[in-house]
């Protein structure tokens, strides 16, 4: 019954007003993985100590990621009825000052300010929207990230959350929901960019009584942290998206799949699911309608390949995460032998807004057949590292030079690494690309899940290729021997080249290994396994030649001792 | 009951409890092993047997899973655990010198356990805080923008806090 949801919304609104315009200030501390790595936990601890010793009454919340990870720990102070002041690089020592000066005397500490959100009376502060990293952002999937407490379902509802689900269940047929997603042109954000609507239609077409929706947050790509970022910052948008996917396809069971050990995302996803059950948004007869959906969080051990859709199903069933043969495809025979649809966290996170605002609205954003936005994780040699959501169609160079502020120390950008380790490298000159799945693909690059790692001119590309292949070798599941043995062999050759002991035949040897891997592997891990070497050879043949023929490294960066796991899967 | 038998009995009880009290509806070999790992920090032989019985599987089935995922240890954990990221994001901004200095501070040459059982050092492919690379973690607590000096400091602090350590 819609009336039920109305009372949830009213309660949410009441609580939200209490937080933003009540009788005490609201302090939000960024505590996503980036915040934690910068020491956010100590900042939160300092706040509880300082508020008590100075006798100040304020609400402190642990929120997710605003995207400006380089400025973590970030602290966002809102005095009742006013806009927010966002401080960056806050140390435990700064907390005392914030409590005594900002909360006590209403004085803003201008040197620490990154920007303001909304209007603030005191001080002439720049708007956070004017920050280079923020100015061209358009946030859809990340709309609540850094703004709400991810452990509080009411804060999500107060910001429009579960409204799309309520509308879909009460006013739309299953087919209408599916049609909105189809119209939106939403494509899978996990890497393959397959149209979500088409995928959902495969599952909706099955009459099986038991069907599954899987949401993939394995995210093993080094340099990609947007799936974890979304789950940590706004888990309910993912939960709502999954329920909507279940409704549209007639599935009644779902799993969110995360790697064991990533405690933040796991805890927040589990809490979100439990809260949704409590309010009747999951479980039997959701919101009093005839639709039933059950969702749980499933964990995997350390395995990169478990992010591959069929290996993921093996891991959910509790086995070794090794890919299955296809056909049959998951939409016919998936997890526990039942028809299954798998989407990435980011794909799911878009769904509530698509249903709320309509597929046409989403299709109107973006570039050609790549609709909507793309969430990029910027790391490596860049001035502003972090997570940004920009419309498809922007130029990658603009993202690197304007939003990320270019390379530190006045150095030149040499190359970037996109789409996870298998995506290989792209020279700086080739980075003049429009953000569009198809344009990337035709340029031989992968936009993938949005991880972008930048390397400056002092980086040895042979060395980075070695690291990428060392990663692929370590993570090969071992099922297909061309991948299992090919990766090890290729790593040996690359290590030899890095030691300046390579021979001219080594390049042909690696090519032949790569061809075998491509032909003889079941999943992308082996099929694309040669890509890091192939792309490095395409853009930087001179660097390989220098190592092999001239016996020298042009940058010298591969001349330090290197470490990588020797352990393999048994 | 002798001391050793009592210890063994306690271990078996903890394993049983961890396996039986899994809160989520879907219980599998993998989920049971992860529950044991959370409880004990490793997978003893007794746990393999218990997980097999509980999941109506063979010991072979369970070993297949234990040996596949490198997060599972089969020997008791050290007192502390340090993970250092060696992934590409961290590598590009200086992970290798950090790893070298962390290892040196712990008196180690490669990843593994210190002989006194105080510290495990493990290379991690991605700790998920790439924007603050290089990253390491001490007992699951993340630390970003690590320099070789900072890495060395964190190792000494950790070793000092280990029992019997000379502070």
B74 within a domain of the structure (yes/no): no
Give me the CATH number covering residue A411: 3.10.20.600
* A184 & A299 share domain: yes
Residue A136 tokens, joined = 């061209």
The answer to whether A445 and A419 are in contact (CB under 8 A) is: yes
The answer to whether B84 and B136 are in contact (CB under 8 A) is: yes
- A561/B100 touch (CB, cutoff 8 Å), yes or no: yes
φ, ψ for residue A229, nearest 5 deg: -60, -45
Q: Which of A32, A36, A419 has the highest number of chain B CBs within 10 A, making it the mutation to test binding with B?
A: A36
Residues of chain B with C-beta less than 8 angstroms from the C-beta of A380: 88-89, 92-93, 133
Number of domains in chain A: 4
Q: Which of B96, B130, B148 has the highest number of chain A CBs within 10 A, making it the mutation to test binding with A?
A: B130
A500 within a domain of the structure (yes/no): yes
Q: Which of A67, A301, A495 has the highest number of chain B CBs within 10 A, making it the mutation to test binding with B?
A: A301
The answer to whether A345 and A418 are in contact (CB under 8 A) is: no
A154-to-A5, A72, A195 alpha-carbon distances in Å: 12, 26, 32
The answer to whether A466 and A494 are in contact (CB under 8 A) is: yes
B167 within a domain of the structure (yes/no): no
ipTM of the complex: 0.95
- B141/A36 touch (CB, cutoff 8 Å), yes or no: yes
* A219 & A354 share domain: yes
| Chain-centre distance for alpha carbon B18 | 17
Closest by Cα among A347, A299, A343 to A321 = A299
Q: What is the pLDDT along chain A (570 residues), one digit of tens a residue?
A: 445 899 999 999 999 999 998 999 999 999 999 999 999 999 999 999 999 999 999 999 999 999 999 999 999 999 998 899 999 999 989 999 999 999 999 999 999 999 999 998 877 899 999 999 999 999 999 999 999 999 999 999 999 999 999 999 999 999 999 999 999 999 999 988 999 999 999 999 999 999 999 999 999 899 999 999 999 999 999 999 999 999 999 999 999 999 999 999 999 999 999 999 999 999 999 999 999 999 999 999 999 999 999 999 999 999 999 999 999 999 999 999 999 999 999 999 999 999 999 999 999 999 999 999 999 999 999 999 999 999 999 999 999 999 999 999 999 999 999 989 999 899 999 899 999 999 999 888 888 889 999 999 999 999 999 999 999 999 999 999 999 999 999 999 999 999 999 999 999 999 999 999 999 999 999 999 999 999 999 999 999 999 999 999 999 988 888 898 876 677
Nearest residue in chain A measured CA to CA from B142 = A37
pLDDT (tens digit, 9 = 90+) per residue, B113-137?
A: 999 999 999 999 999 999 999 999 9
* B148 & B101 share domain: yes
A156 within a domain of the structure (yes/no): no
Nearest residue in chain B measured CA to CA from A376 = B131
CA pair distance A423, A425, nearest whole angstrom: 7
* Predicted local distance difference test score (pLDDT) of residue B3: 82
Angle formed at CA A351 by CA A347 and CA A353, multiple of 5 degrees: 125
Domain boundary among A302, A335, A363: A363
Number of domains in chain B: 2
pLDDT (tens digit, 9 = 90+) per residue, A453-504?
A: 999 999 999 999 999 999 999 999 999 999 999 999 999 999 999 999 999 9
- A225/B131 touch (CB, cutoff 8 Å), yes or no: yes
Min Cα–Cα distance to chain A from B15, Å: 18
Nearest residue in chain A measured CA to CA from B128 = A225
The pLDDT > 70 percentage for chain B reads: 97
Could you list the residue range(s) of the whole structural domain that residue A219 is in? 161-363
Strand pairing partners for A380?
A: A454
The answer to whether B33 and B43 are in contact (CB under 8 A) is: yes
* A278 & A356 share domain: yes
Residue A401 tokens, joined = 């030079």
First to last CA, chain B: 38
DSSP strand pairing (A451-456 vs A425-427): unpaired
- A33/B128 touch (CB, cutoff 8 Å), yes or no: yes
* B63 & B87 share domain: no
pLDDT band at B166 (very low <50, low <70, confident <90, very high): very low
Domain boundary among A363, A391, A424: A363
The answer to whether A531 and A424 are in contact (CB under 8 A) is: yes
The answer to whether A69 and A20 are in contact (CB under 8 A) is: no
pTM, to two decimals: 0.96
Could you list the residue range(s) of the whole structural domain that residue B111 is in? 80-161
Across the interface, which of B64, B110, B111 has its CB nearest the CB of A320?
B64
Q: Around A207, how many Cα atoms within 13 Å sit in the side-chain half-sphere?
A: 0
A154 within a domain of the structure (yes/no): no
Please give the torsion angle defined by the CA atoms of residues B103, B109, B115 and B121, in that order, rounded to the nearest 10 degrees.
40
- B26/A255 touch (CB, cutoff 8 Å), yes or no: yes
* B152 & B86 share domain: yes
Residue A74: asked if its preceding bond is cis (omega within 30°), the reply is no
Closest by Cα among A284, A320, A296 to A213 = A296
The answer to whether A90 and A75 are in contact (CB under 8 A) is: yes
Strand pairing partners for A375?
A: A389
């Amino acid at each position: 019954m819609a009336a039920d949801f109305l009372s949830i919304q009213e309660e949410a609104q009441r609580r939200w007003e209490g937080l933003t315009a009540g009788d005490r200030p609201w302090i939000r501390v960024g505590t996503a993985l980036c915040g934690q790595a910068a020491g956010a936990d100590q900042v939160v601890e300092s706040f509880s100590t300082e508020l008590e010793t100075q006798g100040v009454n304020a609400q402190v919340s642990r929120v997710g990621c605003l995207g400006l990870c380089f400025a973590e720990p970030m602290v966002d102070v809102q005095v009742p009825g006013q806009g927010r002041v966002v401080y960056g690089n806050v140390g435990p020592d700064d907390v005392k000052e914030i409590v005594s000066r900002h909360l006590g005397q209403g004085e803003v500490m201008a040197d620490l300010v990154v920007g303001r959100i909304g209007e603030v009376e005191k001080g002439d502060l720049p708007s956070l929207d004017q920050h280079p990293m923020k100015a061209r952002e358009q946030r859809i999937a990340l709309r609540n990230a850094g703004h709400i407490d991810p452990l509080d379902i009411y804060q999500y509802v107060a910001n429009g959350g579960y409204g799309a689900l309520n509308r879909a269940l009460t006013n739309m047929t299953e087919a209408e929901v599916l049609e909105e997603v189809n119209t939106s042109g939403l494509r899978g954000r996990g890497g393959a960019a397959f149209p979500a609507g088409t995928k959902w239609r495969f599952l909706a077409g099955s009459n099986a009584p038991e069907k599954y929706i899987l949401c993939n947050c394995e995210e093993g790509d080094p340099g990609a942290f947007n799936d974890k970022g979304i789950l940590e910052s706004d888990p309910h948008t993912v939960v709502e998206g999954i329920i909507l996917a279940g409704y549209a396809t007639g599935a009644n069971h779902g799993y969110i799949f995360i790697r064991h050990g990533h405690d933040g995302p796991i805890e927040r996803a589990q809490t979100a699911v439990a809260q949704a059950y409590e309010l009747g948004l999951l479980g039997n007869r959701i919101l009093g309608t005839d639709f039933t959906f059950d969702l749980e969080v499933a964990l995997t051990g350390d395995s990169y390949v478990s992010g591959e859709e069929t290996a993921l199903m093996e891991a959910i069933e509790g086995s070794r995460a090794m890919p299955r043969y296809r056909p049959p495809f998951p939409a016919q025979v998936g997890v526990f032998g039942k028809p299954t649809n798998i989407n990435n966290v980011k794909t799911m996170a878009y769904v509530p807004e698509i249903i709320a605002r309509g597929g046409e609205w989403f299709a109107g954003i973006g570039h050609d057949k790549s609709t909507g936005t793309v969430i990029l994780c910027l790391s490596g040699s860049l001035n502003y590292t972090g997570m940004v959501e920009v419309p498809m169609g922007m130029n990658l160079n603009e993202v690197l030079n304007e939003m990320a502020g270019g390379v530190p120390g006045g150095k030149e950008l040499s190359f970037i690494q996109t789409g996870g380790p298998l995506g290989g490298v792209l020279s700086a000159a080739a980075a003049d690309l429009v953000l569009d799945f198809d344009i990337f693909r035709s340029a031989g690059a992968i936009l993938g899940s949005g991880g972008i790692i930048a390397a400056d001119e002092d980086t040895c590309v042979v060395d980075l290729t070695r690291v990428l292949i060392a990663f692929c070798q370590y993570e090969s599941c071992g099922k297909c021997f061309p991948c299992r043995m090919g990766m090890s062999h290729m790593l040996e050759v690359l290590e030899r080249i890095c030691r300046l002991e390579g021979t001219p035949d080594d390049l042909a040897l690696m090519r032949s290994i790569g061809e075998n891997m491509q032909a003889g592997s079941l999943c992308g891990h082996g099929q694309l396994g040669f890509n890091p070497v192939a792309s490095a050879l395409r853009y930087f043949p001179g660097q390989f030649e220098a190592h092999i023929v001239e016996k020298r490294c042009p940058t010298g960066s591969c001349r330090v001792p290197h470490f990588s796991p020797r352990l393999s899967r048994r | 009951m002798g001391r050793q038998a009592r210890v063994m009995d306690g271990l078996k009880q903890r394993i049983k409890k961890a396996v039986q009290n899994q809160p989520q509806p879907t219980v599998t070999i993998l989920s049971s092993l992860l529950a044991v790992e959370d409880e004990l920090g490793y997978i003893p032989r007794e746990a393999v047997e218990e997980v097999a019985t509980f999941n109506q599987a063979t010991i072979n089935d369970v070993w297949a899973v234990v040996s596949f995922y490198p997060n599972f240890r089969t020997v008791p954990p050290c007192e502390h655990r340090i993970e250092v990221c060696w992934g590409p994001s961290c590598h590009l901004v200086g992970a290798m010198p950090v790893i070298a200095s962390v290892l040196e501070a712990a008196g180690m040459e490669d990843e593994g356990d210190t002989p006194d059982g105080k510290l495990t050092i493990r290379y991690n492919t991605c700790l998920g805080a790439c924007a603050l690379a290089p990253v390491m973690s001490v007992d699951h607590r993340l630390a970003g923008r690590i320099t070789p000096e900072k890495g060395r400091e964190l190792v000494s602090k950790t070793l000092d806090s280990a029992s019997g350590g000379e502070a």
